[in-house]
Structure 1
Amino acid sequence: MRALVLAILVVGMGGLLLKAQTPPRCQEALAEHQSPRFRTAITNEGTLGMLNQFGNPPGWQWPPGVNQLFEGAIMVGIPPNQVSDGARVISGGSQQQLDRDFRCIWNVDTLAFTSDSIVYYTAYDDSNAQFPPLADDGPNAPLPIRVEQWSYSYAYPPNIGYLILKLIVTNIGADTLNNLLIGGYLDWDINNYATNTGMVYFETLNDPNIGHGRPFVLELVMQWDDSQPDPYLGVVPLSQNVFLASRIADNAEEIYPGSSSPFSEANKYGYMRHRRANDPFGDPWGPGDKSMVFGLGGGLNRGVPDRGFRLAPGEAATVGFAIVGGNGFQEFITNAVAALNKWFYDLGNPVILVGDDAVEEPSPTGLPETVVLMPNYPNPFNPVTNVEFGLRNAEWVTLRIYDLLGREVKTLVSERFPAGYHTVQWDGTDNHGQRVASGVYIYRLQVNGVVKSRKMVLLK
């Protein structure tokens, strides 16, 4: 795990280079993830699956050697119809063409390729949107965003049944982006595509390994072959636990040309934003050719997403989700929970718990057994991050930020705190109120002779 953390920190520094010195444009390329249960490929232009210039990459093979995915893509959009994505577009084109808005600005870097894990990093922007190969029904102009993408797969149980994707979307324009959604499209062809079905699934769990034992909502969108119900394949949101919206789409009715609601730019945004009334109860269409669409937003109303992200110039949003598989429903659920566990503990990101009102709210209940320093969230961050610590007893607490040379940057607190959990924000300024440079910083907690430190990454 130590090698993985170091690799992620290198990515943070690499992210700085995106602004400090723009690398030359790179050609579309792919990289493969493998585990004992699946094989797949990601690209440096926001796509998964088979519809691209490579002809026939692995798609999503479960088990390895048996492809179950026809097409997959990342989607980022603002209302009403400006969507950046690599998914097929219908207006002005055929169903077999990709809407290739994204263009690589950072080639696929291998951050870890060990016996334990594979980690890749890449970045892309929307500059291809001004030269679309297809006629979108949305504005013929780039969305001013930069997308940084991390992908993680693992070689040993219990983490072999999923691929994690972490996306940081930064507003690189001059105007605020309102109601921005980040999501994806997966056109599964599981076994016999003509008999596929699926559903959106909710469950409240109380797993002692996640969220310090507090209840949390598990939401999944899943698909399977109705005539041969193995495997189950789908997506679990990690950064918020619940989607802003997700649906099983009937391709003949909602995706293909000539359908009642084809996959136009406006409908791509609408599918990411609005749930169908009957979606939580399963597939309203019955067996057939299916796909899934999902969206993640930035606002919560008592633990339930209710709006998109609002990104001022220079601000970024972080989301994570896992593509999950399982032979049988129960294994699918088990692998989804394992992905949440990995996200929360090893990747240093929060999990939304039942009753929480804010996106980043991983605070456990009760008192810790000793002094606790939690991973900051979000991380990487811009412009503000939260540092949480826990005390068994009332103590004098000193919390300071240092750079990698050991120089003090800022004293966040130096005062007495009661027992319990406490959260302090750092806004990226020093002791003089000046904004500090992008980079890796150390936050150090000192309590009655106990000293604990962690690393954080500030990206601009």
Structure 2
Amino acid sequence: MRLRLAVTNYLTEARNVTLALSEESPYTTVSPANAALASIGSGESIVLDNNFFFKVGSAAPSNHPIDFTLSISAGGYTDTDHFTLTVLPAFANIGVNNIYTTVTNVGRIGSANPGGANAGIGFLYKSGANLLFEGAIIAGTSANRIVNAARGLITYTGAQENDADFIRTEEGDIRITTPGSLSDQESITSFSDAGASSPLNIRITQQTFASSDPRYADLLFLSYRVHNLSGEPIDRFHFGLFCDWDIDAGSYNTNVAAFDADRRLGYACDSGDGPATFAGIRLLTPGGISYRAIINDNADPLNPGWGLHDGFTDGEKWEAISGGVTQSRVGPADISNVIASGPHIIPAGGEITIDFALIAADNLELLQAAADSAWMFWLTSLQTGPITPPPAVWALEANYPNPFNAETTILFSLPRPTPVRLDILDLSGRLVRRLAETTLPTGRHRLLWDGRDNQGRSVAGGTYLYRLQSDGEQLVRKLVLLR
């Protein structure tokens, strides 16, 4: 790296000036370390543009501070100046439209160190207040094989740890290009899961794309290219983004997290007197999707499941990124949400790409319009090949919403055309409602249950089973009806 130094003489003219640069970092070497000036007049400034260079070793950690000392001598006069440079930054701030945020090379969004100082700006819309307390990648193949950068367990002291499984690669310096080749501003970095206790052996290349075109001013695109470094295929791979939103940081207990199934859009807003801003993430990559809205406080009486105040376990993370659409709406409360793509198979030495759009708007209608624009921009400007849906698998997904009151959606997939039967049962196994008994084509299918039995009568609230039968096999899951 090259150092550019400006030297100003505030005293009388000096001749035969010698400058020597030194540092004490174990990861840094200065070469050359000396420079000379024949003279510098009183009040004169001279820029040393190509005199000092330093090299940072590959073992240097991210955000590494280097303390430099510049020694100056001329005749009998000596002086020293001290300055500090931070190299290999773990984050950089980006934005050319209405969205400003921080990208990192440690798998986090908005901040390299959630809750820490000088680690990022969060997620800003129209230069307003930060809307995002924490954003992070969660990926895995099972509850025992999770790699992520989200919050983790509670320590014995009561503090909540942040998982830090992703480590910058040698090529992982964050590079920002304005304009870029596909949009008005782009960034790129890479990191691996080498910091995990049970790594999947993946390298992630993260890219962002932003346009200053007014049609796309409320969008920022995130693209993750996941490369399998191992010699074996990675099966049942799920990849998602976790966000702890604080739409009104002064009273975030009035936030709501929700899901727009048609747009594959998870979002958050404030139901109280806070800003009218809506913020969310659309999954652009076709195929399976999981979404979970979370109330962070376990003790909140509105909490329909687990929360995060007692820690965010790997089992909970796996459930969130692989369980289908489970809790589609929660709040008002202190909320988070997770939106994920999968399952995927990554061949040995191969790669897949998973794309999202970060979106913000002044109301829900505008947020949905921006989500539609995100799809069109991705399709026409960022998608480089034909969209081929992944092969269908025999699967029964989690219904949504769950629990529900008026009606709930049940999704299932078939690997080939086949006769199917989908039934609602009570916990004793007795038939309550037959939703389908027909032959359906290959692919993903959707059915609704309105909480009524085969005679059209409303059934009592409680836990029910829904069962998919086909080709002599069956899959069963639970749902909860509220009355």
So what's the TM-score if we normalise by structure 2? 0.56
- Equivalent runs, 1:197-236 vs 2, <5 Å: 197-203=256-262, 218-227=263-272, 228=274, 230-236=276-282
Contact 1:238–1:351 (8 Å) recurs in 2: no
Quickly say closer, same or farther: Cα 1:330–1:352, change in 2 above 3 A.
farther
Partner residue of 2:348? 313
Contact 1:239–1:351 (8 Å) recurs in 2: no
Quickly say closer, same or farther: Cα 1:171–1:92, change in 2 above 3 A.
farther
TM-superposed deviation, 1:74: 1.2
Mapped partners of 1:349, 1:255: distance in 2: 39
Partner residue of 1:266? 315
TM-superposed deviation, 1:350: 6.1
TM-superposed deviation, 1:97: 3.0
SS at match of 1:294: strand
Measured against aligned partners, the alpha-carbon deviations of 1:397-430 in whole angstroms (never above 9, x if no partner) come to xxxxxxxxxxxxxxxxxxxxxxxxxxxxxxxxxx
Mapped partners of 1:350, 1:333: distance in 2: 25
Contact 2:102–2:123 (8 Å) recurs in 1: yes
- Equivalent runs, 1:156-195 vs 2, <5 Å: 156-191=213-248, 192-195=251-254
Identical-pair percentage:
24
SS at match of 2:337: strand
SS at match of 1:248: strand
Q: Between Structure 1 and Structure 2, which shows a larger proportion of strand residues? A: 2
Partner residue of 2:107? 46
Measured against aligned partners, the alpha-carbon deviations of 1:357-385 in whole angstroms (never above 9, x if no partner) come to 659xxxxxxxxxxxxxxxxxxxxxxxxxx
Partner residue of 2:91? 30
Quickly say closer, same or farther: Cα 1:70–1:51, change in 2 above 3 A.
farther
Contact 2:254–2:334 (8 Å) recurs in 1: yes
- Equivalent runs, 1:356-435 vs 2, <5 Å: 358=391
* One-letter amino acid of the counterpart of residue 289, structure 1: D
* One-letter amino acid of the counterpart of residue 190, structure 1: I
Partner residue of 1:287? 332
SS at match of 1:61: strand
Mapped partners of 1:329, 1:315: distance in 2: 39
Mapped partners of 1:114, 1:318: distance in 2: 19
Contact 1:95–1:257 (8 Å) recurs in 2: no
TM-superposed deviation, 1:332: 0.3
Mapped partners of 1:85, 1:73: distance in 2: 7
Mapped partners of 1:226, 1:126: distance in 2: 38
Higher-Rg member (1/2): 2
Contact 2:224–2:355 (8 Å) recurs in 1: yes
* One-letter amino acid of the counterpart of residue 164, structure 2: R
- Equivalent runs, 1:90-109 vs 2, <5 Å: 90=153, 92=155, 96-105=160-169, 106-109=172-175
* One-letter amino acid of the counterpart of residue 220, structure 1: L
So what's the TM-score if we normalise by structure 1? 0.59
TM-superposed deviation, 1:54: 5.4
Partner residue of 1:85? 148
Mapped partners of 1:292, 1:200: distance in 2: 10
- Equivalent runs, 1:135-154 vs 2, <5 Å: 140-154=197-211
Quickly say closer, same or farther: Cα 1:339–1:351, change in 2 above 3 A.
farther
Quickly say closer, same or farther: Cα 1:222–1:351, change in 2 above 3 A.
farther
TM-superposed deviation, 1:230: 1.4
Mapped partners of 1:141, 1:357: distance in 2: 27
Quickly say closer, same or farther: Cα 1:257–1:193, change in 2 above 3 A.
closer
Mapped partners of 1:96, 1:326: distance in 2: 32
Matched, 1:127 2:194: yes
Measured against aligned partners, the alpha-carbon deviations of 1:93-112 in whole angstroms (never above 9, x if no partner) come to 75643211100012112243
- Equivalent runs, 1:3-82 vs 2, <5 Å: 24=58, 27=62, 28-50=89-111, 52=113, 55-82=118-145
- Equivalent runs, 1:338-349 vs 2, <5 Å: 338-349=373-384
Aligned length in residues: 293
Which of residues 326, 332, 339 is equivalent to 2:361? Answer: 326
Quickly say closer, same or farther: Cα 1:249–1:95, change in 2 above 3 A.
farther
Higher relative contact order (CA 8 A, sep 6+): 1
Contact 2:148–2:166 (8 Å) recurs in 1: yes
Quickly say closer, same or farther: Cα 1:107–1:270, change in 2 above 3 A.
same
Quickly say closer, same or farther: Cα 1:229–1:329, change in 2 above 3 A.
farther
Measured against aligned partners, the alpha-carbon deviations of 1:46-65 in whole angstroms (never above 9, x if no partner) come to 11124616535210012314
Matched, 1:112 2:173: no
TM-superposed deviation, 1:177: 1.6
Mapped partners of 1:194, 1:273: distance in 2: 27
Quickly say closer, same or farther: Cα 1:111–1:38, change in 2 above 3 A.
closer
Quickly say closer, same or farther: Cα 1:54–1:44, change in 2 above 3 A.
farther
Mapped partners of 1:264, 1:350: distance in 2: 37
Contact 1:46–1:73 (8 Å) recurs in 2: yes
TM-superposed deviation, 1:33: 1.6
TM-superposed deviation, 1:257: 3.8
Query: What 5-or-longer segments of structure 1 have no aligned partner?
Result: 1-22, 130-139, 204-217, 298-307, 360-460
Mapped partners of 1:149, 1:342: distance in 2: 18
Contact 1:90–1:256 (8 Å) recurs in 2: no
Partner residue of 2:5? none
Query: What 5-or-longer segments of structure 2 have no aligned partner?
Result: 1-56, 63-88, 299-305, 393-483
SS at match of 1:74: strand
CA RMSD between the two structures: 2.5
Q: Between Structure 1 and Structure 2, which shows a larger proportion of helix residues? A: 1
